[in-house]
Structure 1
Amino acid sequence: MSLLVLNNVEVVYDSVFLAVKGVSLEVPKAGLVALLGANGAGKSTVLKSISGLLAAERGLVTRGQVTFDGEDMRVLDPPARVRRGLVHVLEGRHVFGHLTPEENLIAATSMHPDRAKVKRMVEEMFTHFPRLAERAKAQAGYLSGGEQQMLAIARALMTEPKLILLDEPSLGLAPFLVDEIFDIVRRINAVSGVAILLVEQNAVAALDLVETAYLIDQGRIVMSGTAAALAANPDIQDAYLGGAQKVDYHAVKHYRRRKRWLA
């Protein structure tokens, strides 16, 4: 059964610019799904249409349905969506730099009146993320990029979500940190059953993590299927995975491979 369903969603900015054009996708319960695409393709806009954060950027879902756990999300504001179990980890991490990691985690627990429970949850996050436990009393603004990304994910987990919308977690991180972050995401999904909708430009890492993937290009879903099927597609390989085959540029005056889905 699907936890999240987008059906023919369109998003308009400033009542003029059509940024997302009839996007449909599904995330099953406890599923791992990736939304791939180039910079500016509409990936983050799709996530904001789900979490309700479009209004701050003068965006609006003008058509289609966003259904989460059987409920229409379009009628709910962002805090209500979080209370339903849908949380969005924004691109760029956005931790509270003047607070410690522990204080960042506690800041996400306004829906939990039981302080003893909050304390247990903080300890659980420090178990999941031992690096944060080591830096528990430092200001979050002084953490490394990888540690801040871990903190952003841990803070999202403090809301006890059913689904995490994870936007570009590998952005600006060294490859070994990307592997560590993705291993943590895989473990959280396996242990806690939290579904993940991952937006990522690092297609190699994303397709190694998820079960299903969608490719968005110029605001439209142009391809979908299992991660293995997309990874084997020659157009995906050429555009996002470093090339299905090497091209001898000395042998040709001009080379330009047109993406088949645009033909």
Structure 2
Amino acid sequence: MTLLALNNIEVVYDSVFLAVKGVSIEVPEGGLVALLGANGAGKSTILKSISGLLKPERGAVSHGQITFEGTDILALDPPERVRRGLVHVLEGRRVFEHLTPEENLLAATSMHGDRSEVAGLVEQMFQLFPRLAERNKSKAGYLSGGEQQMLAIGRALMTKPKLILLDEPSLGLAPFLVDEIFDTIRRINAEQNTAVLLVEQNAVAALDVAQSAYLIEQGRIVMSGTADVLKSNPDIQQAYLGGGSGVDYHAVKHYRRRKRWLA
């Protein structure tokens, strides 16, 4: 069953700049879907259109429909979307640096009235991310980049979401931490049956955990399919997975390949 559906949406900034052009995406219940593309392709804009965070950046969905569990959510404000079970982990981690890990987690629990439930959720996050338990006396600003990313994901999970939107969780992390973060994403999806829409430039890591994927270029979806299908596509291998040799990647991504995909 489809949990989230974007139907032919367009996003404009300042009522002038068209950033997303006729994008349609589906995320099934319990699914793990990757959204791939280069910088500036429109990936983060799509996530913000889903979570309702376009308005502070003078953006708006000008056309199309976004449904969550079959209900149109475009008229709902961001807090109501969170209460419905949709949560967004922004690029750059954005933790409360002056608070401890536990205080960061508690900051996301205003929707829960049961103290014992909240305490149980905190314990679950410390089991999922043992490093946070070890560093619980430290201020979040002193955590490493990987630990802050774990905290940002854990804080989102405190809302008990049905769908988590992850924006570049591997950004700026060492390779061994990237592996750890993606292992955790896989566990969250498999063990908690939480659906994930993952925005990533690291196509190798994303396609290793995702079940299906979409490729976006200049605000348009130019390719979609199962993760295995995209991994085996020669254009994807050359442009995003490091396949081939002596390739001008800028030309591949932005000229010849796009023309072939859009033909």
Q: Following superposition, which runs of at least 4 residues in structure 1 exceed 2 angstroms of deviation? A: none
The equivalent of 1:103 in structure 2 is: 103
Gaps of 5+ in 1: 250-254
1:75 equivalenced with 2:113 (yes/no): no
The equivalent of 1:23 in structure 2 is: 23
1:246 equivalenced with 2:245 (yes/no): yes
Deviation at 1:195, TM superposition (A): 0.2
Q: Which moved more, 1:155-164 or 1:108-117?
A: 108-117
Secondary structure class of the residue paired with 1:153: helix
The equivalent of 1:252 in structure 2 is: none
What code does the residue aligned with 1:143 have?
L
What code does the residue aligned with 1:187 have?
R
CA deviations on 1:132-171 (whole Å, 9 max, x unpaired) are 0000111000000000000000000000000000000000
Deviation at 1:191, TM superposition (A): 0.7
Deviation at 1:2, TM superposition (A): 0.4
What code does the residue aligned with 2:245 have?
K
Deviation at 1:248, TM superposition (A): 8.4
> Aligned partners of 2:55 and 2:183: how far apart in 1?
33
1:62 equivalenced with 2:71 (yes/no): no
The equivalent of 1:231 in structure 2 is: 231
CA deviations on 1:11-58 (whole Å, 9 max, x unpaired) are 000000000000001000000000000000000000000000000000
Deviation at 1:247, TM superposition (A): 2.7
CA deviations on 1:173-213 (whole Å, 9 max, x unpaired) are 00100000000010111110000000000000000010000
CA deviations on 1:73-107 (whole Å, 9 max, x unpaired) are 10100000000000000000000000000000000
> Aligned partners of 1:176 and 1:12: how far apart in 2?
38
Deviation at 1:246, TM superposition (A): 1.5
> Aligned partners of 1:169 and 1:256: how far apart in 2?
27
What code does the residue aligned with 1:91 have?
E
TM-score by length of 2: 0.96
> Aligned partners of 1:160 and 1:229: how far apart in 2?
32
> Aligned partners of 1:121 and 1:141: how far apart in 2?
22
> Aligned partners of 1:149 and 1:8: how far apart in 2?
32
Secondary structure class of the residue paired with 1:27: strand
> Aligned partners of 2:166 and 2:186: how far apart in 1?
13
> Aligned partners of 2:106 and 2:156: how far apart in 1?
11
> Aligned partners of 2:80 and 2:245: how far apart in 1?
50
> Aligned partners of 1:256 and 1:191: how far apart in 2?
41
> Aligned partners of 2:30 and 2:16: how far apart in 1?
37
Secondary structure class of the residue paired with 1:83: helix
Deviation at 1:256, TM superposition (A): 4.7
User: Structure 1 residues 134, 248: closer, same or farther in 2, change over 3 A?
Assistant: closer
- Report sequence identity in percent: 76
> Aligned partners of 2:35 and 2:138: how far apart in 1?
34
> Aligned partners of 2:261 and 2:130: how far apart in 1?
44
Alpha-carbon contact 2:238-2:247 (below 8 Å) kept? no
Deviation at 1:71, TM superposition (A): 1.1
Deviation at 1:228, TM superposition (A): 0.5
User: Structure 1 residues 202, 193: closer, same or farther in 2, change over 3 A?
Assistant: same
Gaps of 5+ in 2: none
1:131 equivalenced with 2:131 (yes/no): yes
- Count of residues in correspondence between the two structures: 257
